[in-house]
Structure 1
């Protein structure tokens, strides 16, 4: 009986926290339209420009991180959160991000089990990797792998997740 009470309390608390989080998400103008073409255009606009990060990862590390996420949606993430998380909290968080049209997550948190963010090392090469990852994802017609936190996503949902993820990271990138 106590376990049921604890689970109900956790669920109610989680819903309240996500509801509050919904309103805390940024609602400003995105750097480009919230679709793959918009993200690709935003990246094209950065090509050949000297960029700096306001804090945390370098622009090259940010681009490598975002590329990893896209690549893993096709090949499979190295580590997944527990099944209960991917079928409850994760999808709920994604639905809040999707409804709000913005994502907020720790911008220095690596993908669990992912390779180091140091390759390719140059900003230009990392940006090319990310642009290639977006192009590969846009053309991919096979079955996508479960997201490490959100669980199973359709191609359209994954596209939205990748774009929101990129835009969240770009919030710390500026022209030098």
Structure 2
């Protein structure tokens, strides 16, 4: 299954907010829907504005680069669904889902309109816009598989 097209994400997301969370979230998710949307918004936004913390350069050049290549070749991603972004603000479990969804929509809009070089990913290092688009799509598909199936 191809990953989510980021340009269509906002439309799909807002049309499906009324569905039960368990239908949108990955089985075994540690976070509620709002927290998951906040986390996804953070990673998309940080690819433009800069991540708060990076893994060591050696990690990004070796294990991180290898993980990026594997994910891009496979077209899917597998990672801890409870891993917060190092240095990012805590996810607010009480933030209304509609606000979290708007935050993700805004982050996707920022990303899709971005034409300059992207900030390095904390684990993967430098990524092209296309690589980030594919990686973000896989990331969202893993956290929100119910959104892919609509």
What TM-score results when the alignment is normalised by the length of structure 2? 0.85
Structure 1 segments (4+ residues) deviating >4 Å: none
Q: Residue 73 of structure 1: which of 47, 61, 71 is its match?
A: 47
- Verify: 1:139 aligned to 2:109, yes or no: no
Q: Take 1:73 and 1:120, find their aligned partners in 2: how far apart are those partners? A: 25
CA contact (8 A) 1:64 1:129 kept: yes
Number of equivalences: 143
Q: Take 2:11 and 2:70, find their aligned partners in 1: how far apart are those partners? A: 25
The equivalent residue for 1:37 is 7
The equivalent residue for 2:137 is 163
Runs of 5+ consecutive residues of structure 1 not aligned to the other structure: 1-28
Residues 112/37 of structure 1: CA separation in 2 closer, same or farther (3 Å cut): same
Q: Residue 149 of structure 1: which of 120, 123, 138 is its match?
A: 123
Q: Which of the pair has more CA radius of gyration?
A: 1
Q: Residue 88 of structure 2: which of 84, 107, 114 is its match?
A: 114
Structure showing greater relative contact order (alpha-carbon pairs closer than 8 Å, 6 or more residues apart): 2
Runs of 5+ consecutive residues of structure 2 not aligned to the other structure: none
CA contact (8 A) 2:32 2:93 kept: no
Q: Take 2:146 and 2:11, find their aligned partners in 1: how far apart are those partners? A: 18
Q: Take 1:38 and 1:91, find their aligned partners in 2: how far apart are those partners? A: 28
CA contact (8 A) 2:7 2:112 kept: no
Residues 103/41 of structure 1: CA separation in 2 closer, same or farther (3 Å cut): farther
SS at match of 1:88: helix
The equivalent residue for 1:125 is 99
Q: Take 1:156 and 1:44, find their aligned partners in 2: how far apart are those partners? A: 24
Deviation of 1:46 (Å): 2.0
